Chains A and B, each alone.
Chain A
Amino acid sequence: MIDLFSWLGPQEWLAVRLSIKVAFWAMIVSLPFGVFVAFALARWRFPGKQLLNGLVHLPLILPPVVTGYILLVLFGPLGPVGRVLEPYGLGIAFRWTGASLAAGIMGFPLLVRSLRLSFELIDPGLERAAATLGASPVWVFLSVSLPLALPGLIAGAVLAFAKAMGEFGATITFVANIPGETQTLPSAIYALLQVPGGENSALRLVVISILVSFGALLLSEALNRRLAARLMRT
């Protein structure tokens, strides 16, 4: 086993740590929203459902630079939201929190898709059975729907995390490329490739990126198989 600390230089190590922090918070904060939106799309009928569906999927098809630019316009120090937050020190533009927001938004469609599929696979008859046994809608959700969607939730969260780790376009547009604050793995690789002699350093980060992404994908696949097996049994 290679000693990761000595293998990576301090700059590189900083980028890896920052990336993990950004991706972790991106995933944690988007989870409750993702669960809510996915459940609404899977189970409820309401006006504007298609609009919400489109909006959620927009980051998947829009050029990431555009997403980053929209965030910059909204959350930048002069933007309508940024103007309000900035005086309280809550501004997120050019901060790692902004990088998290950008990464979270880019990973959101993946999280919602995985969760929505899990919710749709649950037999609505089970939820109705819970209602006949006296359970309120909130309790039905907490005791039946959510536990049955758990493998899909974990798989979606893993995918969203991996996507957040690799997010580049929206992040660099919104929060730039500040080492130690907003320089995530992809930004660092990009910066290293711009300077002579940075190739070796970049290569090490590329290896880390491949390992993280591949690991996340394998984990997600394994969980999806478990989900399928679990739903087959019922």
Chain B
Amino acid sequence: MTFDVDIGLRQGNFTLDAQFAAPAGLTVVFGRSGSGKTTLINAVAGLLQPDRGRIQVNDVLLFDAGAKLNLATRKRRLGYIFQDSRLFPHLTVRRNLLYGRRTLWAAEQTVRFDDIVEMLALGPLLSRHPSHLSGGERQRVAIGRALLASPRLVLADEPLTSLDMPRKLEILPYFERIRDELGVPILYVTHSAAEVARLATTVVVLDKGRVTQIGAPAEVLADPNMVPTGVRNVGSVLQARLVKQHADGLSELQAGEVALFVPRIEKSVGTLMRFRIAAHDVILSNQPPVGLSALNVIPGEVASIRAGEGPGALISLTTSAGLVVARVTQRSAIRLNLAVGTRVYAIVKSVAIAPDDIGGGLEI
């Protein structure tokens, strides 16, 4: 496994007791605030020392309490992207970017300066100081600085949380590219279901300092017992191919045998996409709907019905597009005579699929 973590750490009243193994790619640590996500990532960075256990990334042992081994932070070859950027205010963007390269031999510099500057469009910013950058620009520089340290491990602690929606949409694709092109393991902390859906190869769910679930994003996000941020974040993650750009501002996706229409995605036709549909945005019908404004109708069969504590019920459907989950009231479920095996139609408004829910690439 790429990540092999088993640590215990006490901090005041809080106890972190986390154990997980994850394969290569982007591993998301998913949890509410206060669940211990930042503590966990800081332990991996060596900024906090666990009381027990071991941390191994690929074949490098970073920490082993038994062997009294604790590699210093500066020797872990990290690229750590912080929520608050933490750019050095007295240095220009160029010198910020180069900060981590000073300690590297030429042979260790696996990432080229010009490549990163081009990929993150940092050229016009190079001579500026961080105080003259917008929030999104700052975070782009922070990503560049982390990558230019030629890291063997990329850490990201809620890197999008302090940004507004347009800035998030600006930064998200870069993480997809880092995941797909750099070939370096990434540990990414977030409380956002949309980021899990778009970015994760593996999701590690953290709750009250413990790992409660490890799995693929589609699996974790569809299960209300696993989603730590509440039932409102339950949803399905589907994979689809962009097949047509329509003149009226919609893009047509093909998921299984289903055609879906979403607001225009600026990608070329043929691109493989991954997108999330929140369970509360899905309407169910037991007949093919007629006279309806919603454009997306996904036929399927009820696979499971789960009643929650409140008036709601979570219905999972198997469809040719994949697993779709819908949150409806128990009253509706009874009125529609829903049972396992019932043929139903899931209806999703195009505009309900938010832009940050749609991402490029990656098998689910």
Contacts and interface: CB of A to CB of B under 8 A. Distances in A.
Contacts of A136: 74, 103
A135 interface: yes
Main SS at interface, chain A: helix
A233 B89 contact: yes
A103 B299 CA distance: 88
Given A125-B82, A135-B74, A234-B131, A130 B89 contact: no
A208 interface: no
A123 interface: yes
A123 B82 CA distance: 13
Interface in B114-155: 130-131, 145-146, 149, 155
Count class of interface residues, chain B: 20 to 34
A148 B74 contact: no
Contacts, number: 65
Contacts of B149: 133-134
Interface in A49-82: none
A128 B47 contact: yes
A234 B91 CA distance: 12
Interface in A124-152: 125-126, 128-136, 139, 143-144, 147-148
Contacts of B77: 134
Given A132-B80, A134-B100, A134-B103, A234 B73 contact: no
Contacts of A225: none
Interface in B62-117: 72-80, 82, 84, 86, 88-90, 99-100, 102-104
B89 A234 contact: yes
Nearest to A132: B80
A147 B131 contact: no
A230 interface: yes
Contacts of A131: 47, 72-74
Most buried by B among A130, A132, A144, A230: A132
A139 B45 CA distance: 19
Interface of A: 123, 125-126, 128-136, 139, 143-144, 147-148, 230, 233-234
B89 A133 contact: no
A36 to B, nearest CB: 21
The 10 closest A-B pairs by CB, nearest first: A133-B100, A233-B131, A134-B103, A132-B80, A129-B86, A234-B89, A131-B73, A132-B78, A147-B90, A134-B74
A234 B130 contact: yes
18 contacts: A125-B84, A126-B86, A126-B88, A128-B47, A129-B82, A129-B88, A131-B73, A131-B74, A132-B47, A132-B76, A133-B100, A134-B102, A134-B104, A134-B149, A135-B99, A143-B99, A148-B90, A233-B131
Given A125-B84, A136-B74, A130 B45 contact: no
Nearest to B72: A131
Interface string B320-331: 000000000000
